Amino acid sequence: MFTPNNHEPNGSEEISDQEWEIRTGRAIYILQRTLPDFFQVGLVCNVDPTKGPNIVNVSPLECGDVESIYSPKIRLSYTPPVALPSPFPSTLSLEGLPLYMASSAFIRRTMKTLYSDLRVELRKFAIQSPSTSTQINPAAVTHTYLKREKTLFISLSVYGTTRVSGGLGEWQIDSTYTFSPVSGLIHVHTINSIHPTPHQAAYDALRASLSSVFGIGGVGDIRPGELRAVDTEGRTRKVKRGNGR
């Protein structure tokens, strides 16, 4: 959906299997501990190694390459059950850590404006690794690559009280986080489903917010007032801000 066409850093330096397990384990630990407090502290992206195991919330701009749990090139994607009208592609996506963090801040701010007593409840938290029975050609991949396949499935519920009517709002969100086999950082966040499905106005508001933040002043080669729509085949097209559709 939106991607600043900036040049990300070159590939991560090779790390040991032990370091890879440490990084994935740290990310899993941070998500499990902090997602329930999302509306209180925001999205936590790293830890302060000088303070031991304590989780420290930091500014998105302070997420370092070493201690961050997210890849600088993280991709967030969601395919609505009903296709949205043009200019939205069939699969909505955000690419890059700045946009990922900005979108989480937008969601948190908007929800807190519309609802009070917001809380997040983890319903399911499952680590998924390839089974030893999976049909894989041993000659096609290395042993290290097989060991470095890991995803995390998270199902959570969000509750809040509407500020206008006092009614209870409830949403269930299922997501899959995929770890990079190279860096051990989360490089793909796929939203499997959202119930109930967000209204189109939510996507319009998110598009306008990201455009105002990253379109003015330029991110990569995006000019003010432009966003890039990314379809499932990786093709891009420019979307003028203010056209609405």
Segment 7-44, tens digit of pLDDT:
334 445 678 999 999 999 999 999 999 999 999 999 99
CATH of 17-130+150-212, one of 3.90.550, 1.10.3470, 3.40.50, 3.10.450: 3.10.450
Torsion angle (degrees, nearest 10) of CA 203, 169, 188, 56:
110
Tokens at 67, concatenated: 């201690």
Backbone φ, ψ for residue 64 (5° rounding): -75, 160
Return d(Cα 161, Cα 167) in angstroms, integer.
Answer: 6
Residues 6+ apart with CB under 8 A from 159: 117, 118, 119, 121, 168, 169, 170
Domain regions of the chain by residue span = 17-130+150-212
For 78, 89, 192, the CA distances from 232, given in Å and listed in that order, are 11, 8, 15
- The two most distant CA atoms of the chain are separated, in Å, by 62
Angle between helix axes 97-114 and 200-214 (nearest 10 degrees) is 130
Q: Is the pTM of this model over 0.75?
A: no
pLDDT tens per residue across all 245 residues of the chain: 444 433 334 445 678 999 999 999 999 999 999 999 999 999 998 866 555 445 555 554 455 444 789 999 999 999 988 887 777 788 888 899 999 999 999 999 999 999 999 999 999 999 988 753 334 454 554 545 557 899 999 999 999 999 999 999 999 999 999 999 999 999 999 999 999 987 766 767 767 766 665 553 333 333 333 334 344 344 444 444 344 44
